[in-house]
Amino acid sequence: MTLPIRVLVLEDHSFARAVAVNTLKQLGCREVFQACDGAQALAVLQEVGAVDIALCDLCMEGMDGLEFFRRVGLSGLVGSIIICSSLSADLRRAVRQIVSLSGLRLLGDVGKPLHSQALAQLLEKHRSAPRNDLIPVHVSEQACESEVRNALSDGQLQPFYQPKFNLLTGEICGVEVLARWLHPFKGILSPAVFMPVLERFELLDELLFTQMDQALTLQRQAREQGFTLNVAFNLHAQQLTHHQLTSSIEGILALHDARGCGLTFELTESGLLEAPATSLENLVRLRMMGSRLSIDDFGTGFSSLQRLCQLPFNEIKLDGEFVRTLEDEPRCLAVISSTLALGEALGMSVVIEGIETNEQRQQLLALGCTQGQGYLFARPMSGADLLRWLPVSSVSRQKN
């Protein structure tokens, strides 16, 4: 089978480069280009145009992989990166962060020597990824204030829902609400385009309250179908400084005849370095309403364990980066095990993000994890799609 995928191989060793090129062709890639270093790769891209994937070594005598990532990140000439390097696992993990910070999508890390099966899995992952999930827009291409205000008032900023699962039974525990911009001309746009604007002009509360209104309606519709869904909303630390936050939330709950125990509020730990009195009061009031409080992207910020003990959270969401490298990096296994133990010791549930394979699910179950979220189970979807998907998912789970 021929795959409509264009791949560029960056490798300075001629034999290894030839092996990679031949392997990709045997796997069915339509077009495979090659370069001995980053400089030659940039020249090839200028000549042949954009490629879907760049398979990159990191240590090269000419322009190395790191410089190539920086140079190509803003060009739009590379869709995704596959790292192929013999560097140690801890260094490759740092490089994965560099790829993301360069504005590129990391498809995977196959290490060295190159194995055909691992590469085939990543090609299939690329092929099966929905093309309309998000249009990648670099952070520098943020929308202007007037565009975002109009999108908010016109209802173009819509909630998408990603389910959370019990890893053992497959039962749906709840959904996380994610904002997407349904642009009339550009399609579905990433939060990177509009969230910084909402934050800068203090429009986050307006988005939250609109999302709550829509999500609580969906929660009721799901309940009428026999599904009880906890709904999780993302909160920014800036919103916790608003004195009227919890009273506004209580007002929306009252309009929908809903209870706070059906809600979770997720905050990234990087925003919790300082918690003034008003913020702490809002956190306590949210818990008093019966809502759950979750520290999102745990392990990626800079808050101390002391803050974890001081603030009234009862859920930890471990960042998906630790799962993506679970199989080949002992440090990530240690972080996951330690976080699960920490959660149990503190009486906090632990939800692990980024689960994409059944192998990862089985490893997490073996470690004692029971709740997870990721593309293995479901991608973010619209409310209408979620209501159609719930009965199908339930029937599938019962058959299995």
Q: Is residue 134 part of a domain?
A: no
Burial 50-73 (b: 16+ CB within 10 A, else e): ebbbbbbbbebeebbbbebbbbbb
Its domain, for residue 71, covers 3-128
Residue that finishes a domain, picked among 128, 150, 183: 128
The verdict on 202 and 319 lying in the same domain is yes
Total length of the chain: 400
Tokens standing for 352?
């692990």
pLDDT, position 276? 74
Q: Where are the alpha helices (DSSP H) in the chain?
A: 14-26, 38-48, 65-72, 89-101, 116-128, 145-153, 191-200, 204-224, 245-255, 277-288, 305-310, 321-324, 330-346, 358-367, 383-399
Q: Is residue 47 part of a domain?
A: yes
Q: Is residue 198 part of a domain?
A: yes
Q: Is residue 54 part of a domain?
A: yes
pLDDT, position 398? 65
Q: Is residue 119 part of a domain?
A: yes
As a whole number of angstroms, the distance between CA 161 and CA 221 comes to 14
What's the CATH number where 62 sits? 3.40.50.2300
Q: Where are the alpha helices (DSSP H) in 49-88?
A: 65-72
| Mean pLDDT, contiguous 10-residue spans, the chain (400 residues) | 84 94 91 94 91 93 90 84 88 82 85 90 80 43 89 96 94 95 87 90 96 97 96 93 95 97 87 71 94 84 65 90 78 90 92 92 94 92 94 73
The verdict on 222 and 120 lying in the same domain is no
Q: Is residue 70 part of a domain?
A: yes
pLDDT, position 226? 94
List, by residue number, the catalytic residues: 353
Q: Is residue 133 part of a domain?
A: no
The verdict on 114 and 227 lying in the same domain is no
The verdict on 106 and 165 lying in the same domain is no
CB 65 within 8 A of CB 56: yes
Burial 357-394 (b: 16+ CB within 10 A, else e): beebbebbeeeebbbbbbbbbbebbbbeebbebbeebb
Residue that finishes a domain, picked among 100, 128, 156: 128
Tokens standing for 323?
């799962």
Instruction: Name the β-bridge partners of 189.
Output: 135, 181
* Angstrom distances, CA of residue 390 to CA of 132, 172, 226: 21, 9, 10
How many structural domains compose the chain? 2
CB atoms within 10 A of CB 297: 17
The verdict on 315 and 361 lying in the same domain is yes
As a whole number of angstroms, the distance between CA 344 and CA 349 comes to 7
The verdict on 44 and 157 lying in the same domain is no
The verdict on 112 and 148 lying in the same domain is no
The verdict on 111 and 258 lying in the same domain is no
The SS3 assignment for 309 reads helix
The verdict on 21 and 148 lying in the same domain is no
pLDDT, position 304? 56
Q: Is residue 365 part of a domain?
A: yes
The verdict on 95 and 232 lying in the same domain is no
The verdict on 316 and 248 lying in the same domain is yes
The verdict on 19 and 157 lying in the same domain is no
The sign of the dihedral angle between the CA atoms of 387, 164, 264, 132 is negative
pLDDT, position 253? 98
Residue that finishes a domain, picked among 75, 108, 128: 128
* Angstrom distances, CA of residue 13 to CA of 6, 55, 243, 296: 21, 14, 62, 42
